[in-house]
Amino acid sequence: MFLIYLILTFFAVIAVVVFVVIDNTYGGKVNGPSKHVVFLGLDGLSSRNLHRAKTPNIDFIKNNGAWTSEVSIDPYSNGSGPNWVGVLSGHDSTSSNITDNSCKKPKYSTVMDQLMQVNKTVAVSTQWHDVKCFINKVTYYQDEKRAFTDIPRLINTVHAGYSFVFIHVDNLDFVGHRFSGGSNTYTKEVEKVDNDYVGPLLDYVTHTDGYTLIIASDHGHKLTSKDHSNDPVSLFMYGEGIQKGKIHPMKNVDIYNYLKQLLF
Ligand SMILES: [Zn+2]
């Protein structure tokens, strides 16, 4: 009998040690507000898609910021509408009233509308013009060409000091629909996005007080066909108010809670 207790105690101690070690690997979190938040929304990039590319700027955030490659997308849709609304309003398609890409106002307000209500400033730069459907009025709005943003203009917008800048980049979704998420063309485009968008934004946030950069995605692309995938996506956060480390696996609607903690 004594031996059985001894063995059980031994395994219980091992279980506690394993739990503590695993839990300590998850140190990434939001610690407090940030004066300015720049949100880079990369349409059509799953963690599997990202993994195939060389992305030194995103790797920098992995090593110095908070991140996870285990963000689950909407339970019923891998469309852009329901997933961006989930991230920006905290409600997935079961409650947001947004189940596809048709242009409708979501049932719950997005973080942009909430900021405007308390007289904070919001800028939107978007290659997907239906983002307009999810917001009422913002301080600055710029439509960009599909899969092409005027980068100097974008950087000027970031420099202007808005409370929140939402940047939607469609390059990867555009290429994924033509060549698949497993194609070399797609992987090269991921590397280009890291260089052309993440690089300059990260550079600005690194050298300017009071700024936080967040990078998230709505869905991925299948490796062998030209469709969206349901695979998990990634989240990266770096700058003011961010404690570095890996973040627990989460749902995309939880990103909204991070935005609230940073912005209000
Ligand atoms: Zn698409």
Interval between CA 10 and ligand 1 midpoint (Å): 52
pTM of the predicted model as reported, rounded to 2 decimal places: 0.92
Q: Please say if the pLDDT value at position 2 is more than 90.
A: no
Residues with CB under 5 A from ligand 1 (ion): 173
Interval between CA 254 and ligand 1 midpoint (Å): 22
Q: Tell me which of 17-26, 166-175, 207-216 is least confident.
A: 17-26
What is the token pair recorded at 209? 């007080």
Interval between CA 44 and ligand 1 midpoint (Å): 6
pLDDT-based confidence at residue 6 (cuts at 50, 70, 90)? confident
- Over residues 230-246, the pLDDT tens digits come to 999 999 999 999 999 99
- Over residues 163-197, the pLDDT tens digits come to 999 999 999 999 999 999 999 999 999 999 999 99
Residue position matching structure tokens 């209000």: 264
Interval between CA 251 and ligand 1 midpoint (Å): 20
Interval between CA 99 and ligand 1 midpoint (Å): 15
Q: Cα–chain-centroid distance for residue 90?
A: 13
Interval between CA 219 and ligand 1 midpoint (Å): 8
Residue 136 phi, psi (nearest 5): -90, -75
Q: Answer for the pair 69, 59: CB distance below 8 angstroms, yes or no.
A: no
- Over residues 63-96, the pLDDT tens digits come to 999 999 999 999 999 999 999 999 999 999 999 9
Residue ranges of the domains in the chain?
A: 29-263
Distance in angstroms (rounded) separating the CA atoms of residues 43 and 170: 5
List beta partners, residue 81: none
pLDDT, position 146: 92
What does the DSSP assignment read for the chain? Answer: -HHHHHHHHHHHHHHHHHHHHHHHT---EE-S--SEEEEEEETT-BHHHHHTS--HHHHHHHHHSEEEEEEE--SS--SHHHHHHHHHHS--HHHHS--SSS----SS--HHHHHHHTT--EEEEESSGGGGGG-S--SEEEE-BTTB--HHHHHHHHHTT-SEEEEEE-HHHHHHHHH-TTSHHHHHHHHHHIIIIIHHHHHHHHTSTTEEEEEE-S-EE-SSSSSEE---EEEEEEETTEE-EE---EETHHHHHHHHHHH-
Q: Please say if the pLDDT value at position 17 is more than 70.
A: no
Interval between CA 171 and ligand 1 midpoint (Å): 10
pLDDT-based confidence at residue 16 (cuts at 50, 70, 90)? low
Interval between CA 230 and ligand 1 midpoint (Å): 12
- Over residues 28-40, the pLDDT tens digits come to 999 989 999 999 9
Q: Please say if the pLDDT value at position 9 is more than 90.
A: no
Interval between CA 82 and ligand 1 midpoint (Å): 12
**Average of per-residue pLDDT values in the chain:** 94
Q: Please say if the pLDDT value at position 22 is more than 90.
A: no
Match domain 29-263 to its CATH number in 2.10.50.10, 2.60.40.420, 3.40.640.10, 3.40.720.10: 3.40.720.10
* Mean pLDDT on 119-145: 96
Interval between CA 128 and ligand 1 midpoint (Å): 10
pLDDT, position 20: 57
Distance in angstroms (rounded) separating the CA atoms of residues 11 and 22: 16
Interval between CA 229 and ligand 1 midpoint (Å): 10
pLDDT, position 144: 97
Interval between CA 220 and ligand 1 midpoint (Å): 9
pLDDT, position 185: 98
